[in-house]
Structure 1
C-alpha cells in the first residue's frame, strides 16, 4: 500500500497540467520556485486550498479557499475531491491517476476568471524565479506558454520547487521541387525554381506539444509570390495510422485580413483542438502560391514561416527561396564576325512540352514571361539592332526558340534552337542568320552568254547561205 501511494505521488509530479505546490510552516514564510521558466511568459499563482499544520508538523488539513468554493462544490472540482461536513478536503483515490490529474488542471485553469491572483511573474530571461512570502496552501500556477508543469503536494515542504514542462513547439518549412536532384528528399527542399505563372507548393511541418496554448502559424511571402488562398491549405495529422485531416473552423482558421505583422496569412489553431491533444502531435501543413510578375530574378522570392504560442514564445523563421531566371537572345548575320544585333527576326519561345510561352513586352530589348492570362501578353518577340533580347521569368529548364519570320534578305531557320537555362543568368543564345545565294542579274554574265550563242547562230546561218550560193553558181 505504501509503495502504491509513492507511485501515485510520482505520477502526480510528472503529469499535472498546471503547477501546484503545497507549502507548510509559518504563514508568509513559504516559497515556490519555478525552474526552466521562459522569457516573456506570464506565470500567475492562485491559492486553491488553505492548509493548516500543527506545531509539530505531524498533522495537517486542507479546506477550500473561499475564492474556489463554487469550483469545488458546484463546478468541475467536485469530481476530484471529497469535502466532509466540517469542510475538510481529501482527494478521491479514483482521481489520482495521470489522466484525471491532467483533466483537473485544465478544469482549474478554465475557472481562474475572477479568482484572486496571489502573485504574478514575467521573467525577463529564461531560467528560474521564486514566488516568496507565501502562506501554506495548495497552489495553482498557470503559464501563458502552455499548461504542462509538475505538482508538489508535500505539506512539510516550505520551499517547494516545480519545473516548467511546456517544451517548445517546432516548425520546419520546405518547398516542392520538380527536380529530384535539387531536392533534399522526396521532392521537398529549401529552394526551388519556377517560371512566372507557375504554382509553387509549400510544406510546413509542425510539432505541437501536449498542453499547447494560443498556437498560431505565421507565413510571410515575398512580393513575387501570391498566396493561393485558404482553399489551398490542408493540414494532415501524421500521428494517426491513416492520414487524417484537420477541419477548418473546428480545428483551425485561416486569417488573411487585418494582419499587422507583415504576414500574408495566419493559421490559428482553436483551443478546443489544442486541448484535445493527449500526446506530442506532428502536423503537415501544405499550401500554395503563384510566382507572379514581381519575381526577383537576382535574389529569388523568400517564403518565411514561424510558430507563436502563449503570449510571447515563438520559433525562429524557417525560410525557403523560389528562384526564376533569364537568358539573352543574340540574332546576327552569319557573315558578321563582330556579331552585331540583327533586327527583324521573329521568334516564339516554347517550353519543354512544346507549349508557346506567352510574353509581356517590357521594352524593345526586354520581355518577361506573362503571369497566366495577363492582359497584353504576346506569342512572340522580334529582334532589334539596338541590343540583345533578354527573356526574364523562365524556369531552370529546357526551352526552344522557333523562328517564325526571318529578317528581309535572310533565310528563315528550318530547325528550332535549343535553350537550356543556366542558374547563372548569364546565358546568351546566339542565333546566326545566313543570306540566300545571289542569283544572276540583268547585264551580267548571265545575258552575255545569250549574246554569244546568238552571234554564233547568225554566223552559222551566213556561212550556210554563202556555201549554198557557190554551189548554185557552179551548176
Structure 2
C-alpha cells in the first residue's frame, strides 16, 4: 500500500509539472502579443527613450482580493519556474544564491518572495540589475513582452496584476544612472501604472563652424571650407566584454570632405584624413578606430570602444568623444536646398548578443543665398525692364585697387542671366558679368556677409555709377531656419523674395573728372576768394 501511495504522489507531481508547463507555454504564446491576458496598462517613460525597445517580464503573479476599486494584494507567487532557477543558482554563475528563508528546509517560491520583500534601496536596485542580466542571457526561457517607445513613452497593455521586471534595451549611459536600467514594478489591478526609467542612451550632437563659432546651422559661400564637430559620450560598458561604437555621418550633395590642402577626400575603407581628429575625455586618440568614406557617408568606427578607452587610461563613463573634420561647400548647396549633414551613433545594446542600437539623428544645415541684379533705366522699360550692356564686378571690398583683377573680386561661373560663385580653381570662372535686356542677373552661392557691386562699364549713352552699391546678407533664422534679409545701401532689397538689387542708370555724357566732390568744392571756394580780393578794392575806391 505504501508503494502504491508513493506512486500516486509521484503521478500527482508529474501532472502538476505538466500543468505548469502548459501554463508557461500558454503564457509565452500570449505574452508576445499585447500582454499576458490581463486588463491593466503599464506606461514607462524616459528622457531619451524614443524609438527604443522596453521589455517587461512578470516575476510574481499577484493574488488579489476585494473589488476592482477596493482591493488588497494577498500574496505573490512566482510566475515562472525559471525564476526559481535564477534565485537558486550560485552568485558566481549569475544567480542570487538563495538559501532557505522560512526554516522549512527547502528553497521555493515563498523563499523568493520573502527575499525580495526584505530588499530596500540600493540592494533592491542591485537585485533588479542582476535579474535583467539573467533574463538577457536566458531570454528564451521567459515570456518577455516588448514595447517600442514613441515620444519617449512605451506602453504595455493587457497585463495581469503582478510584480514585473522592466528594463530598456542595452547601451544606456550615465554615471548617475548606474543600476537604474532595470525596475521592479507592481502593476495594480484597478489602475494604470506609470513609471519613469532613469536610463539615458548614447546621443550625438553636431555643430558647424562657418567662421563665427559652432552652431546648429550657418551660412557659407560656395567654395568655403567649414568645420564640423560631432560630440557623444562614453557609455556605461560595465556589463559588456566588448562594446561597438560608431559615428555615421551622412553628407548631402552640397558638401565634400576635404583634407588640410583643400583636396577632396576620395572614397575608401580604412582611410586617413589628415585633418580629422578624435578625442576622448580631452585626449587625442590615434588608434582603436577606423575611418571610411563611401557615397558621402563618413564612418568613424570603434569595433571595441571598451578596449580603446582602457588603452588611453583614466577615461570614465560620460567622458566626451569628439570628432572634427572639414568639408567644402559645393555648387549643389543651392538656395532652398541647404548643405545638410546628418549624424547618428550606432552602439552595442545587449551584453548577451551582438545587437546594435542607434541614436536619434542630429542635423546641421549650411545655407547659401542669391541676389538678382536689376539694371534699369527710365527709357528702357523702367524698373520692370532690363538695361543691357552694363558691366559689373562683385567684391568684398568697397574699393577696387586693381579693377576687375582685384583680389577682393568674387569669381563667378555661368553665362547669360545666371551665375554662381566659383569653387577654388574651377575652370571657366570669370570676374565680371554683363547685364542683358531679357532678365535680371541671378548670382547664387553667396554666404552671409557684406558685398559691393561695382559698375566698371556703363551701357553706351549712360552715365557710370560713381560709387559701388553695398549689399548686406544677414542670416536671421526667422521665422524659418536659414531665413535671411538682404539690404541694398541700407534699404531692404525688393522683389517678392526680397532678393532684387535695383540699379538705375541715367542717360547723359559727362567728361572725366579728377578729385572728389569735396575737392571741387574747395577749388570753387578758393577761386571765389581770389576774385573777391581783386574786385573789392575797386569797389572801395569808387566809393571815395
Pair 1:59–1:383, CA change in 2 (3 A): same
SS in structure 1 of the partner of residue 344 of structure 2: strand
Quick check: 1:388 aligned with 2:464? no
Matches within 5 A, 1:207-246: 207-211=233-237, 213-228=243-258, 229=265, 230-237=273-280, 239=281, 243-246=282-285
State the 1:170 CA deviation.
2.2
- Deviation of 1:378 after TM superposition, in Å, equals 1.1
Could you tell me which of 397, 401, 406 is aligned with 2:449?
Answer: 397
1:173–1:438 CA distance, 2 compared to 1 (3 A) = closer
Deviation of residue 388 (structure 1)? Answer: 0.6
The superposition leaves residues 333-386 of structure 1 with CA deviations (integer Å, 9 ceiling, x where unpaired) of 36557232111111111125961111111x411111112211111111110000
Matched length = 314
1:322 paired with 2:366, answer yes
Q: For the Cα contact (< 8 Å) 1:330–1:388, is it kept in 2?
A: yes
2:127 corresponding residue in structure 1: none
Query: Structure 1 regions of 5+ residues with no counterpart?
Result: 1-24, 34-45, 61-104, 110-116, 130-142, 153-163, 180-186, 440-475
Paired with 2:155 and 2:93, the residues of 1 have a C-alpha distance of 21
For 1:273-292, list aligned pairs within 5 A. 273-274=308-309, 277-292=315-330
How far apart are residue 270 of structure 1 and its match? Answer: 4.0
Q: 1:430 aligns with which of 458, 477, 502?
A: 502
1:145 and 1:166 in contact (8 A); partners too: no
Q: Name the CA shift for 1:49/1:429 in 2 (closer, same or farther; >3 Å).
A: closer
Q: Deviations over 1:109-149 (max 9, x none)?
A: 9xxxxxxx7554886336899xxxxxxxxxxxxx8647986
Residues 389 and 320 of structure 1: CA distance in aligned 2, closer, same or farther (over 3 Å)? same
Which residue number corresponds to residue 221 of structure 2? 195
Question: Aligned to 1:217, what secondary structure does the other structure show?
Answer: strand
8 Å CA contact 2:218, 2:366 repeated in 1: yes
Higher percent of residues as strand: 1
* Deviation digits for residues 286-327 of structure 1 (CA, Å, limit 9, x no counterpart): 222111011131142221111111123221111111110000
Residue pair 1:352, 1:397 contacting (<8 A) in 2 also? no
The structural deviation recorded for 1:29 is 6.1
2:373, 2:500 within 8 Å by CA — same for their partners in 1?
yes
Counterpart CA distance in 1 for 2:214 and 2:279 is 16
Give the structure 2 partner of residue 125 of structure 1.
Answer: 147
Structure 2's unaligned 5+ residue stretches are 1-77, 108-129, 149-153, 157-168, 183-196, 259-264, 266-272, 349-354, 399-406, 475-483, 486-496, 512-544
Match of 1:346 among 391, 403, 411: 391
Which position in structure 2 is the counterpart of 1:473?
none
Choose 378-387 or 348-357, whichever is displaced more. Answer: 348-357
Q: Tell me, in whole angstroms, the C-alpha distance in 1 between the residues paired with 2:423 and 2:181.
A: 59
CA separation of 1:269 and 1:384: change in aligned 2, threshold 3 A = same
Aligned partner (choices 334, 353, 360) of residue 296 of structure 1: 334
Q: What TM-score do the two structures reach when normalised by structure 1?
A: 0.56
Relative distance call for 1:51 and 1:415 in structure 2 (3 A) is closer
* CA deviation profile, 1:43-99 (whole Å, cap 9, x unmatched): xxx957997978968799xxxxxxxxxxxxxxxxxxxxxxxxxxxxxxxxxxxxxxx
1:145-184 correspondence runs (5 A): 145=171, 167-179=200-212
Deviation at 1:284, TM superposition (A): 2.3
Give the 3-state SS of the residue equivalent to 1:30 in structure 2: helix
Compared with structure 1, are the counterparts of its residues 421 and 279 closer, same or farther at alpha carbon in structure 2 (3 Å cutoff)? closer
CA distance in 2, matches of 1:199, 1:264: 18
Higher RCO (CA < 8 A, seq sep 6+): 1
Tell me how far 1:194 sits from its aligned partner. Answer: 0.5
Residue of structure 1 in register with 2:430 after alignment: 378
Pick closer, same or farther for the CA change 1:315–1:349 going to 2, 3 Å: same
Q: Determine which structure has the larger helix proportion and give its number.
A: 2
RMSD across aligned C-alpha pairs, in angstroms? 4.3
Q: Deviations over 1:382-425 (max 9, x none)?
A: 10000110100101111111222221222333322211135255
Q: 1:336–1:245: structure 2 CA closer, same or farther, 3 Å change rule?
A: same
